[in-house]
Amino acid sequence: MAHAAQVSLQDATSPIMEELITFHDHALMIIFLICFLVLYALFLTLTTKLTNTNISDAQEMETVWTILPAIILVLIALPSLRILYMTDEVNDPSLTIKSIGHQWYWTYEYTDYGGLIFNSYMLPPLFLEPGDLRLLDVDNRVVLPIEAPIRMMITSQDVLHSWAVPTLGLKTDAIPGRLNQTTFTATRPGVYYGQCSEICGANHSFMPIVLELIPLKIFEMGPVFTL
């Protein structure tokens, strides 16, 4: 999860998030180079006293500064499209979880375990135990296995919500009357936090998401639910 004074993205817990971080660094380096080039050109313009009478008719320079931005856009677009198609892939999921957004809590359904359904509410401050996180911990966590493809079916019962877990690279809108899906494969165990990322009313800030990821062997012994 994020911590105080953090500048970079959260550590990746899924292959998709690793790709997103790599693309972020790739695009950031291109932006740095462009900013440096523009600042250098401005510095030369403001400090030099030399003038070029042919600058108004420089076909070669105009060709370069037209083609170069196009090449830069291609270098950004190709990896971006690759990741976009990767996020839409659904490859034979091992487990399907249905998440329903409400004002202002989440309902989860394990469709592969006899329709097990439970609600997940934020823990009020009076119920927090030592080590719990204010505004982030919930009464019922979603327990899932690692190293197994998980499919999330996301919808809403009232208004627009958004199911987002940054460390997994997930952010999917929950829309009334529409069923959206996303997939992920966690690579390491732990407890990971997210929140609703769509303004959904007065208590929008109070509907967190908590995933408890455990080894697949332990999960196969029987789902461990914190109910």
The pLDDT tens digits of the residues spanning 56-70 come to: 666 787 888 889 999
% of the chain residues with pLDDT over 90 = 51
Domain ranges in the chain with CATH number 2.60.40.420: 95-221
pLDDT at position 93, please?
87
Range(s) of the chain covered by CATH 1.10.287.90:
15-88
For residues 171-184, average pLDDT: 92
pTM for this prediction: 0.81
Say if domain 95-221 classifies as CATH 2.60.40.420. Answer: yes
**Domain 15-88 top-level CATH class:** mainly alpha
Residue 226 has pLDDT above 50, yes or no: no
pLDDT band (50, 70, 90) for residue 19: very high
pLDDT at 1: 66
Long-range contacts of the stretch 197-203 (C-beta < 8 A, 24+): 197/162, 197/163, 197/164, 197/171, 198/160, 198/161, 198/162, 198/173, 198/174, 200/101, 200/103, 200/104, 200/159, 200/160, 200/161, 201/103, 201/104, 201/159, 202/104, 203/103, 203/104
**pLDDT tens column, 113-142:** 777 899 999 999 888 888 888 889 999 999
